[in-house]
Amino acid sequence: MSIPLPDCRPSVPDRSFVSALAEARLVECLASIRDRSLQTLFSNCWLNTLDTTIFDHFADEGQADLARAQPRTWVITGQFKLPDSSSDWVSESGRGITAIDTSFSACNRQQQQCTHHIRIDLGQAPYLSLLAPPPGTDPTTFDPDEREWAALYRLILGVVYAQASCILLHPFSNAFVPPTSTVSTGDNADQVHPPPPKPVLDRNGHGLRVWESKWELDSLCAFFDLSAKLAQNASRTDFVGNEQWVEAVRLALKVCRLQQRGTQEEYDLLQRAQAQKEGDETSLDGTLPWATSESEGPFTYDGAQGVYQFQRPTSTASETRAMSGLGEPAKRCGLVKSAFRPSDDATVLPFLIPSNCFLVASLGKLADTVHSHILSDGSRPNRSSRSVREAIQLAELEREMRALADEVSEAIRTQAMVKVLNAQGQEEVVLAYEVDGCGSYLLADDANLPSLLSLPFLGYCDNTLPLYVSTRSLVLSPRNKWFFCGSAGTGIGGMHLGLNFIWPMSIIMRALTSDDDHEILECLDMLKTSTGGTGLMHESFEKDDSRRFTRGWFAWANGLFGELILDVWARNPHLLS
């Protein structure tokens, strides 16, 4: 069934970035889509991130050598509305992309009164495939325009380097204010430890500020993942030798290791630090755990300095943490804690399994990338002694990645696999959503990525793995308390928006993880009929009335829908024709 949808793309002069490679792929795919509604929806959605959310991009075109170029790309968030509300409020979960209600004028580079902050997240990589030969084609015939290819590569490489800057500024933070934005830092009264630094210049002279410091493991995973996918699609690993990138990876790994500690360990460290502060006890070297100057600041995180605490004055329980900001007690078990979910809601139990799965998958891919770079660099004649030293350091970094990935993978096996009764009353094994290492677990799933539903999409497992099949069946049923079914659609929501609101992202992910033609078509039908007539994806819609939605302009979901259409085009082209 085809329904009329409006064309929502900005005019060419108003687009924040234009890629001839992307436009050509768009035209090629549109020609294979018979349904007019899907045509319009794909045209509106897939390039929405490029069209509307590239706030600032320094391509470093003065450096012709791509191996030496250090571009910066800042992808922003904006404003949005809640259903039945006329008030505007700041998006704190923007996934690195703009989201503005369509009733507002577009927030673009000229309208800097809008709120701009960026996130290290999954929404920034829907165009990586344009750097590689199209699926099913002969790689030797892939001959894109060199200038256009380099422009897109610089754009995405700029995101990687921007992410590295954010991690080096404060690896526990989840949102940052872009350097050229006129917006001030976050205006909340959060109590965060280790505290984010005051507004400073980052390592490359760009003013970068912390917006919010919710520790979310998936933020670091997204940096690992984007780096690996850029290398894979572009067939280039030269950025692996960049000193800032290496330092960011090393710091991210250290933070992951710190977040493996149990709550009792953290409590003891804090107690000892307090005793030292009061003069009752001195450390072995005579210094206090937090006596480091700000210039050294975030690159230490030794002892109690690496214990994460977060408290916010709020009436919303999911916006703060229990036990003086430490959260629910957890026992060291090999998993990595995440204080908050990708939705920005506090975790109920500290070990978030989808994020730990994402960590395993992303570290595995990144370790392979580093290994390829070492081999490639080692094949060069007349290597310098510095190059040899760098190769040794990178080899150690690769070993650290693989060791952490193996440890977390084993912990998922021992801590997160639980036995439940399925809908037929038969016993089966599924993955829990959150655990504490003490035996407690939470059975559920949230629409935000990473999710249990998205594990094949993240590269953690195949969609035919029995463990995933049983888990998928659970989360796509009423056994998942955030699964909703109504006259407007069926899908998963989450704590962030509460009952009865379905996130299109979950419908998209259901299709991306399915091999069943009927299920994929069902998802496509729901997606095209649940836009509320806007022709764009939303953050969520009410299960019985798609006209009640949040974030009418949600570029992350738009890009993800585009990925779905490209995936169907490659795997099941008959479903589009």
pLDDT of amino acid 117: 56
Q: What are phi and psi of 517, to 5 degrees?
A: -55, -45
Please name every residue paired with 491 in a beta bridge, in sequence order, or none if there are none: 484
Residue 168, token pair as written in the block: 């080096």
Determine the distance from the C-alpha atom of residue 187 to the mean position of all C-alpha atoms in its chain, rounded to a whole number. 24
pLDDT tens digits, one per residue of 148-170: 999 999 999 999 999 999 999 89
Mean pLDDT of 43-71: 94
Binning pLDDT at 50, 70 and 90, where does residue 1 land? low
With 60 as the cut, is the pLDDT of residue 285 above it?
no
- Kind and range of the H or E run holding 146: helix 146-169
Strand partners, 73: 57
Confidence class for position 137, pLDDT limits 50, 70, 90: confident
Domains and CATH numbers, the chain: 59-76+117-136+145-273+304-416 (1.50.10.10)
Beta bridge partners of 58: 72
pLDDT at 108: 33
pLDDT for residue 115: 46
Greatest mean pLDDT among 266-275, 289-298, 327-336, 378-387: 327-336
Look at residue 196 in the predicted model and tell me its pLDDT.
84
* Residue, of 220 and 283, whose pLDDT is higher: 220
pLDDT at res. 119 = 65
The pLDDT confidence band at residue 177, using thresholds 50, 70 and 90, is: confident
Tell me if 540 sits within 8 A of 507, measured CB to CB.
no
Based on the number of CB atoms within 10 Å of its own CB, is 423 exposed (0-12), middle (13-18) or buried (19 or more)? exposed
Across-strand partners of 427? 421
According to the model, what pLDDT value does residue 121 have?
63
Please determine, for residue 302, whether its predicted confidence score (pLDDT) is greater than 70: yes
Compute the mean pLDDT over every residue in the chain, rounded to the nearest whole number. Answer: 86
pLDDT of residue 380: 66
55-64, 91-100, 105-114, 269-278: least confidently modelled range: 91-100
Burial of 491 (0-12, 13-18, 19+ CB in 10 A): buried
Identify the pLDDT of residue 378: 63
Tell me whether the omega of the peptide bond preceding residue 450 falls within 30 degrees of 0, making it cis: yes
pLDDT tens sequence across 215-245: 999 999 999 999 999 999 999 999 998 999 9
CA separation, residue 322 to residues 187, 226, 311, 409 (Å): 22, 33, 8, 28
Give the per-residue pLDDT at 89: 20
Cβ within 8 Å of residue 389, ≥6 positions away: none
Separation CA 329–CA 264 (nearest Å): 8
Residue 501 scores a pLDDT above 80? yes
As given in the structure block, the two tokens for residue 199 are 């507004």
Q: Using an 8 Å Cβ cutoff, are 120 and 344 in contact? A: no
pLDDT at 561 over 50: yes
More confident residue, 136 or 422: 422
pLDDT for position 206: 56
Contacts of 465 (CB under 8 A, 6+ apart): none
Position 83 scores a pLDDT of 34
Contact assessment for residue 312 and residue 397, using Cβ atoms and an 8 Å cutoff? no
Q: Does 294 score more than 80 pLDDT?
A: no
Measured CA to CA, the distance from residue 140 to residue 81 in angstroms comes to 48
Q: What percent of the chain has pLDDT over 90?
A: 71
